[in-house]
């Protein structure tokens, strides 16, 4: 817009339209990349995607972009109509601001930086910016082309490998467009994916790692100031005072430069529910949705990340009944100053007059869970772990301090047979932990007696564990205890039990067997507590003891209880 045009603006020239608060926020910030799992009816296409498309039309004149859909049918039936509706709501009309599936006016075509011989499946805009519509079931449509930006709606239906291949084509024309904040930009929107549903993919959730807090805060701060300068400039235009207008314009342009600089290489991932659009949808809409039950509501409307279903979890019979929430002694907790770490007196169901039992998993990290049997119930009450550089001494010190009020200082320790390695030279981890608990750092007796319960026990394979846990968690076997886990004091155990997936593998000794998926065990140390399977292994050693394993039919499951040399 020229200065003369700006001077002739008045209030009648200003378009007023509604946008929900999140669309307004992202419209002001306009980061390079935007990844949005949003609830249904949150105007993902008509507001969020269309505004970014309009930004590309202005900021990347003549450039080629790509709009991706899962199937060609969906592209025609839903995607393009929704996109056109969004453009109309934002004041752009076909034939005036864009054309679709046909050759554009000559002056538009002259502005195009790329050359097209076939206009089918394209949308060309008045600046020469053009979109190619690509469906993942017909990838040949976009083959051999380069793009400067990409849009994708309902990306939960996109197989990760297919969209990854397409993104390699978002690379072209750097010399002309490389300075634009929208160069090589990505805009992906979707309902919350549920990988339990066949055909849905949750790879977009990994993009949360792209968020950079410092850059995002700076961008938002600059965006708000820039918006204020635009408001100030618009108000001063009415005065027709050329000097004030020039000063306001100079200030606005200065902040525009800063805003554009802050947007480059910034990504924003955001999860939001359908309630961001409640002013338009009304509460009645939500009442109707909830009235038919919660199936689909948790992810589709509330955008809650789904948990693995029973069909895909290793602990497939784990349910809410296996966790208890009344495990805290609040009277004791009320006596502590805020921020003080409690000791074992916080455990409401702990019997101070009976021995403790624990399951231990060893490696570069140490993981331990504690429990006691109370009649038919077996309660897993507490977990501990050490991450490098903390190790055996630190774990023992944590244990000694936490369970200091325990009157009967006896610990029965179940563990992986790998912890028995190098036993002959007294260097095995199990023996070291036993000694570290029985003797403090000054080699003084602590009063604790540790009994190593897994000496001579063989491997407990995945298939053995799977079959045993199915039997234990079913509650059908009256010879086995009723499992209960403290959801408050065993948070990492709970997370891991709920999220560890399973897979079927094969070996020479049997046709197939169930394997616990343990990819998370190789993650960086700080991610292990929530994403590894180590705490579930400690839980396995605590529960898969010889006496209980013998109470189920283990024929053909690969159970091996014989001593290993």
Q: Are residues 196 and 242 in the same domain?
A: no
Q: Are residues 70 and 85 in the same domain?
A: yes
365, part of any domain: yes
Binning pLDDT at 50, 70 and 90, where does residue 115 land? confident
Residue of higher predicted confidence among 82 and 306: 82
Residue of higher predicted confidence among 5 and 362: 362
Which tens digit of pLDDT belongs to each residue from 57-77? 999 999 999 999 987 777 888
Domain edge (last residue) among 279, 306, 333: 306
pLDDT attached to residue 94: 94
**Distance in angstroms (rounded) separating the CA atoms of residues 32 and 187:** 8
Q: Are residues 292 and 404 in the same domain?
A: no
544, part of any domain: yes
562, part of any domain: no
pLDDT at 224 over 80: yes
Q: Are residues 391 and 249 in the same domain?
A: no
Query: Residue 356's domain is classified under what CATH number?
Result: 3.30.420.280
Which tens digit of pLDDT belongs to each residue from 360-417? 999 889 999 999 999 999 999 999 999 999 999 999 999 999 999 999 999 999 998 6
Q: Are residues 469 and 437 in the same domain?
A: yes
| Total domains in the fold of the chain | 3
564, part of any domain: no
Query: Residue 38's domain is classified under what CATH number?
Result: 3.40.50.300
Residue of higher predicted confidence among 275 and 3: 275
Binning pLDDT at 50, 70 and 90, where does residue 293 land? low
554, part of any domain: no
Q: Are residues 208 and 243 in the same domain?
A: no
pLDDT attached to residue 180: 96
Binning pLDDT at 50, 70 and 90, where does residue 84 land? very high
**Distance in angstroms (rounded) separating the CA atoms of residues 271 and 50:** 19
In Å, how far are 468, 471, 533, 538, 541 from 546, measured between CA atoms?
Answer: 11, 15, 22, 15, 10
Q: Using DSSP bridges, classify how beta strands 356-361 and 122-125 pair: parallel, antiparallel or unpaired.
A: unpaired
Let me know if 122 is exposed, middle or buried by CB neighbors in 10 A (0-12, 13-18, 19+).
Answer: buried
**Distance in angstroms (rounded) separating the CA atoms of residues 129 and 126:** 7
How many Å is the maximal CA-CA distance in the chain? 95
351, part of any domain: yes
Which residues touch 166 (CB under 8 Å, ≥6 apart)?
66, 68, 134, 136, 139, 142, 150
Q: Are residues 249 and 184 in the same domain?
A: no
Determine the structural domain holding residue 386 and report its residue range.
320-549
138, part of any domain: yes
Residue 414 · residue 355 · CB < 8 Å: no
Which tens digit of pLDDT belongs to each residue from 442-490? 999 999 999 999 876 777 888 889 999 999 999 999 999 999 999 889 9
Q: Are residues 278 and 408 in the same domain?
A: no
Q: Minimal CA–CA distance to 185: which of 153, 158, 149, 221?
A: 149
| Residue 225, H or E segment | helix 213-237
- Of 17-26, 185-194, 348-357, 548-557, the range with the lowest mean pLDDT is 548-557
Domain edge (last residue) among 282, 306, 330: 306
CA gyration radius for the chain?
31
Q: Are residues 239 and 177 in the same domain?
A: no
Q: Are residues 361 and 218 in the same domain?
A: no
218, part of any domain: yes
Q: Are residues 369 and 451 in the same domain?
A: yes
Which tens digit of pLDDT belongs to each residue from 406-452? 999 999 999 986 655 544 434 689 999 999 999 999 999 999 999 99
**Distance in angstroms (rounded) separating the CA atoms of residues 409 and 399:** 11
Mean of pLDDT values over 214-234: 95
Domain edge (last residue) among 244, 276, 306: 306
Q: Are residues 93 and 190 in the same domain?
A: yes
Mean of pLDDT values over 338-347: 85
């Amino acid at each position: 817009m020229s200065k003369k045009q700006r001077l002739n603006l008045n209030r009648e020239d200003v378009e007023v339209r509604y946008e929900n608060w999140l669309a307004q926020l992202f419209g002001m910030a306009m980061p390079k990349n935007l990844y949005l799992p949003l609830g249904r009816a949150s105007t993902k296409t008509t507001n969020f995607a269309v505004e970014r498309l309009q930004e590309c039309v202005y900021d990347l004149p003549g450039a080629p972009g790509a709009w991706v859909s899962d199937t060609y049918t969906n592209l025609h039936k839903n995607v393009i109509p929704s996109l056109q509706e969004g453009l109309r709501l934002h004041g752009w009309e076909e034939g005036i601001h864009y054309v679709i599936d046909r050759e554009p006016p000559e002056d538009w075509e002259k502005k195009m930086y790329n050359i097209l011989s076939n206009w089918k499946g394209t949308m060309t805009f008045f600046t020469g910016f053009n979109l190619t519509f690509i469906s993942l079931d017909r990838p040949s449509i976009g083959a051999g082309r380069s793009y400067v930006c990409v849009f994708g709606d309902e990306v939960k239906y996109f197989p990760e490998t297919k969209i990854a291949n397409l993104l390699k084509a978002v690379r072209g024309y750097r010399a002309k467009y490389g300075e634009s904040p929208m160069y090589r930009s990505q805009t992906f929107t979707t309902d919350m994916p549920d990988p339990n549903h066949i055909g849905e993919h949750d790879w977009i959730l990994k993009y949360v790692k792209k968020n950079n807090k410092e850059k995002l805060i700076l961008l938002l701060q600059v965006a708000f100031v820039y918006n204020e300068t635009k408001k100030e400039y618009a108000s001063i235009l009415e005065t027709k005072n050329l000097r004030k207008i020039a000063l306001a314009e100079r200030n606005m342009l200065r902040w525009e430069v800063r805003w554009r600089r802050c947007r480059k290489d910034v990504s924003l991932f955001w999860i939001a529910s359908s309630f961001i659009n409640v002013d338009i949808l009304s509460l009645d809409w939500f009442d109707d949705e909830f009235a038919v039950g919660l199936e689909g509501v948790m992810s589709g409307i509330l955008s809650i990340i789904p948990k693995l279903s029973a069909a895909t979890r290793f602990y497939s019979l784990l349910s809410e009944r296996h966790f208890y929430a009344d495990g805290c002694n609040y009277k004791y907790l009320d006596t502590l100053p805020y921020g003080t770490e409690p000791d074992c007196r916080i455990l409401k169901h702990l019997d101070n007059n009976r021995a403790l039992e624990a399951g231990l998993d060893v490696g570069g990290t140490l993981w331990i869970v504690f429990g006691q049997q109370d009649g038919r119930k077996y309660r897993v009450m507490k977990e501990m772990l050490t991450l490098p550089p903390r190790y055996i001494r630190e774990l023992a010190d944590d244990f000694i301090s936490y369970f200091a009020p325990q009157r009967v200082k006896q610990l029965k320790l179940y563990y992986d047979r790998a912890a028995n390695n190098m036993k002959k030279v007294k260097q095995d981890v199990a023996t070291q932990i036993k000694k570290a608990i029985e003797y403090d750092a000054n080699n003084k007796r602590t009063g604790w007696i540790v009994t190593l319960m897994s000496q001579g026990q063989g491997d407990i394979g995945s298939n053995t564990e799977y079959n045993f846990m199915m039997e234990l968690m079913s509650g059908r076997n009256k010879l086995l205890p009723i499992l209960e886990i403290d959801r408050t004091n065993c948070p990492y155990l709970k997370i891991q039990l709920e999220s560890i997936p399973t897979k079927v593998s094969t070996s020479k000794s049997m046709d197939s067997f169930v394997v616990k998926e343990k990819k998370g065990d190789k993650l960086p140390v700080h991610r292990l507590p929530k994403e590894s399977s180590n705490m579930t292994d400690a839980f396995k050693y605590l529960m898969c003891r010889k006496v209980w394993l013998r109470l189920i039919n283990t024929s053909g499951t690969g159970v091996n209880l014989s001593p290993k040399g």
